[in-house]
Chains A and B, each alone.
Chain A
Amino acid sequence: MSTPQTAPAGAQAPTSGPFLRVEDLRVHFPTDDGLVKSVDGLSFELERGEVLGIVGESGSGKSVTSQAIMGLHKGSRAKVSGEIWLDGHELVSASEDEMRALRGNDMAMIFQDPLSSLHPFYSVGSQISEAYLVHNKVTKKQARAESIAMLEKVGIPNASSRYDDFPHQFSGGMRQRAMIAMALICQPKLLIADEPTTALDVTVQAQILELIKSLHEELNSAVILITHDLGVVAETCDKVLVMYGGQCVEKGQVEDLFDRPEMPYTWGLLGSMPRMDRARQARLTPIKGQPPSLINVPSGCVFHARCPFVDRVDGNRCVTEHPALLLATGGHEVRCHIPSDERLAILQDEILPTL
């Protein structure tokens, strides 16, 4: 059970543990076809000032994880278990009212598609003010001033006049800036950005990432950046967590993991990423096969059906035995049956030359 310790906003929580600790998080959705195990036993930690990148294909459980942290599954049919500790509060067992007090205030979220994520009938400014008003006892006028300041901070020109514009009158990048303003208006200690740049032009993507980065530094907040773009992770994050089939298959410090990726799925991800710093190859190397079913989660390793290295493990263990997430040579954790040195050998001999 949670121990609701309500600390004043912005104050350092008097806890010894990490700022955010997710422990064995499971999010299951009962459906007519069976139980969808969208997230199944996920654990990670995050300190303030750190940026965690969560990468994986669509449907690997990245967004579900972030929404579980925000408590957005409460009231739905989703079954959430495990523990989420944020600044001394346990969130899985927290009530909707407790969560509501935290949402937007202690933790905030930026969504993937800013157009559909903004209410079409309200002005951009009023939607930002609304977020401020709900957590701060101020007048509408003050909230407006605060929102305009925030809009300016995220780089909206003529913010005071754009305040009353509706979302459809903003460009895509502007909308995402407005979303960021909305998320940061209460100076949250945890910011979750769920594919914040996917829907944007490439030129705008960099600006938005830069913005998130600079604001995070200013607020000293913890950031979870959800993306399928490893390049973004490499640019932005301190830590990275690779998800596949609702599970964490590899996680660690960014430099370490990018230097010595050990999980075959991570290799696949890297292989399917275009590189500008190398000579162009004939073609990218996509990961063969389909993402696993989350209803009938494969026995053994979730990745075994698509893994080209299954034959490197004796006794068909990849199919029969679920590998544990173990500390690897480089200091990060990997979920793979192939012994660590052999993985490094494969990386060196077979993977790196193709990237």
Chain B
Amino acid sequence: MSTQIPKQTEESTETDAEAEPASKGDERRAEKRRRAAERREQRQAEEAEKAAADESTVELKVFRYDPQVEGKQEPRFDTFHVPFTKGMTVLDALMYARDTYDSSLTFRHSCRQAVCGSDAMFVNGGQKLACKTQISDLDEPVRVEPLPHAEVTKDLVVDMEHFYDQMEAVEPYFQTNEYPDGELEEQRQDRENREKIKMSTRCIWCGACMSSCNIAAGDNEYLGPAAINKAYRFAMDEREGEEMKQKRLEIIEQEHGVWRCQTQFSCTEVCPKDIPLTEHIQELKREAVKNNLKFW
């Protein structure tokens, strides 16, 4: 287990330094801590040995980088052997590795059921939602990296700020100036219209599409598939009214809006919620053209 080795040396230097203090209490506490560390280490080593020897383990290769710890600033890959259980996802395996082997392993996750969108990662060469990706579907060793085309903050955590900025840029919220007549009247949407925008409402802001997009990687101002999909969700919503639609089309048909898309289909391939992103972008392109060329 590659992670265990640097840790051991770290621990031993720590105990050397702690041998100096004169106070008896300090000494006792230091001794206690040392023993606890030893026990923990022994347990970890045993677990690791057992896991490595066991047939039914999964080999994880995880990208590691920590700018705050000297010696970890050079990006590297750590190998973890995680006992396989039926139905295990990449996130489960990562959590096992974190809880059992190396508590410094850092990654985002919260709901663990593909709803919150916080654990998009680069698994075996593709942007995947770790909680939705079955280990049994992957080739070993499973290589887990942070999302490409984003700055790595630590281990598997990337800076999502730019992605959120782009999402905000399309004003991703319902707005209208067309209200129904009655005071207590509801703003109803007909079934066809709901069906039309149904897929686009499924976005969970995980950022997988943005990470997979070659154009977004080269052009920082490009709105990106997720933001355009969000714009589609509201531009196509008939309840917003014609005036709002014009406003939304103005945003998406800017230089770095829909026209940057070159239909590589990368976003559609990686989307964990199966949103037909390219289709939506193409439809908005046609809407923009129809809006500007009025021959009919």
Physical interaction between A and B: no
Binding site for A on B (CB under 8 A): none
